[in-house]
Amino acid sequence: MEILDMKCAEYGNMIVEEIGNASEKNKIESMITKALGVLQEDGLYAFALYSKAKSGEENTEKKTAKLLYDKTFELLKTDTIGILTGDCNDLLIGIRENLSSNLDNLFLAKELLERTLVYARYHAKALDGSSSAGGA
């Protein structure tokens, strides 16, 4: 049995390591903090919409938002967690199809994503000139 908190830490680390640009650590941390605020204040679906709307490749903030969207989807779809099931290939669709009628899984998903974003924010704070976010 895998400890879910460690899975959140692993994904939080992956988000930051894939960007790994220490010179942009403030922008990375800022986007993660904003996304976390949306998740906590407005819920899981609003977080997914926010992250998708802010996604792109042009700059560090857009890359961070895209990774947040993609990695949180991956996390909820993993075999260990399995909250998003079926053939859905998008976070928004997965939330609508899998969580609209299961309140327990909705709360679990929100808690897991909050933990993941908190770990990602700490990994971003830990970025240094070596472009490594360190271990969990």
Tokens of 13: 């680390």
Look at the block and give the residue holding tokens 């990602």. Answer: 120
Q: Are 66 and 55 in contact (CB under 8 A)?
A: yes
In the structure encoding, which two tokens stand for residue 117, read together?
A: 């974003």
pTM for the model stands at: 0.88
pLDDT at residue 23 in the model: 83
Q: What are the structure tokens assigned to 4, written together?
A: 């879910």
- Give per-residue pLDDT as tens, 93-113: 999 988 988 899 999 999 999
Nearest to 33 by CA among 121, 136, 122: 121
Q: With a cut of 50, list the residues of the chain below it in pLDDT.
A: 1, 130-136
Domain layout of the chain by residue ranges: 18-125
